Amino acid sequence: MSDNHPSSPATETSESTQSIRSPRLREKGRLMSGSEIERTLVRLAHEIVERNHGCDNLGLVGIKRRGVPLAQRIAALVEKIEKQPVDTGMLDISFYRDDLSTRDIRPVVEKTDIGFDVTGRDIILMDDVLYTGRTIRAAMDALFDHGRPKSVQLLVLIDRGHRELPIEARFIGRTVPTSRREIIEVKLREIDDDEQVTLVELLD
Ligand SMILES: O=P(O)(O)OC[C@H]1O[C@H](OP(=O)(O)OP(=O)(O)O)[C@H](O)[C@@H]1O
Ligand SMILES: O=c1cc[nH]c(=O)[nH]1
C-alpha cells in the first residue's frame, strides 16, 4: 500500500520526535473467502480462454505484488483447460508510476524482467485491485518499454471504482462499490500466509 492510497501502512520515524501515525482502520466485513477466490479464478480462467479462442498467443503478466500469484494461478488453470503452457511474467511498476513523489519509496529495488517477448502477443495484465487506474497506466508504459504487444487486456480480482483514467478491466472477479474512505484489502496465501478479501474503513 502506498501514501497516495488511504490504505498506507504505518509509517514511524525513530530518527526525530516527529512520527506519522498509522491511519485507524475498522474492518467492515469479509467480501471473499479463500475458496471464493479460488472459484472466481477458475471462472476467470475459463472466460480468458473463451474470449481469446484458446491460449495460443496469450501472455500473462502479473503486477507486483499480488498480481503475480494471481497470474501464476490463472496460468496453471488455463494450462489445465487448454493442455498447453502459457507464458507468464511479472512487472514491478514501482519506478514507473506517474505519482512517484507521493509514493512510499521502498528501499529494495526489484528488477523488472517480464521473462518472455511481448511483441505480437495478446497480453493480459493482472492485478488484485483496480482503483484509480494509475498502476495500470504505469504498467502499460512499462509493458511497451519491453516491446509492442498485439493487444493488452486487463484482469483484476476486485474493481472498486473511482477511476481517474479511462481504464477498464476486461475480466473482473468482483465489482465492489466503495467510498473513497474504504479500502479493499486482498490477502493471498503466497504473500500473506492468509487468503481473503476484506472491506476496511478508514476512521481518521
Ligand atoms: O488503481 P490504483 O489506484 O493504482 O490502485 C491499485 C493498486 O493499489 C495496490 O497497490 P499498492 O501499490 O497500493 O500496494 P501493494 O503492492 O501492497 O498491493 C493494488 O495492488 C493495485 O496495484
Ligand atoms: O482499496 C484499495 C485501493 C488500492 N489498492 C488496494 O489494495 N486497495
**Each residue of 78-114: pLDDT tens digit?**
999 999 999 999 998 775 455 545 544 333 334 577 9
**Ligand 2 centroid from CA 193, angstroms:** 19
Predicted TM-score of the model (pTM) = 0.86
CATH code of the domain containing 61? 3.40.50.2020
The answer to whether residue 191 is domain-embedded is yes
Alpha-carbon distance of 39 to 88, in angstroms, equals: 21
Ligand 2 binding pocket includes 5 (Cβ within 6 Å):
yes
* Domain presence at residue 77: yes
In a domain, 13, yes or no: no
Q: Is residue 159 part of a domain?
A: yes
Does a structural domain hold residue 3?
no
List Cβ neighbours of 187 (8 Å cut-off, separation of 6 or more).
194, 195, 196, 197, 198
Kindly give the distance from the C-alpha atom of residue 148 to the centroid of ligand 2, in angstroms, as a whole number. 29
| Residue 171 in contact with ligand 2 by CB distance below 6 A | no
Is 150 among the domain residues? yes
Asked if the structure places residue 167 within a domain, the reply is yes
151-191 pLDDT, tens per residue?
999 999 999 999 999 999 999 999 999 999 999 999 999 99
**Closest residue by Cα to residue 170 from 189, 154, 157:** 154
Does 124 reside within a domain?
yes
Tally the domains of the chain: 1
Ligand 1 closest atom vs CA 137: 4
Note down the domain range covering 198: 26-202
103 vs 34, residue with greater confidence: 34
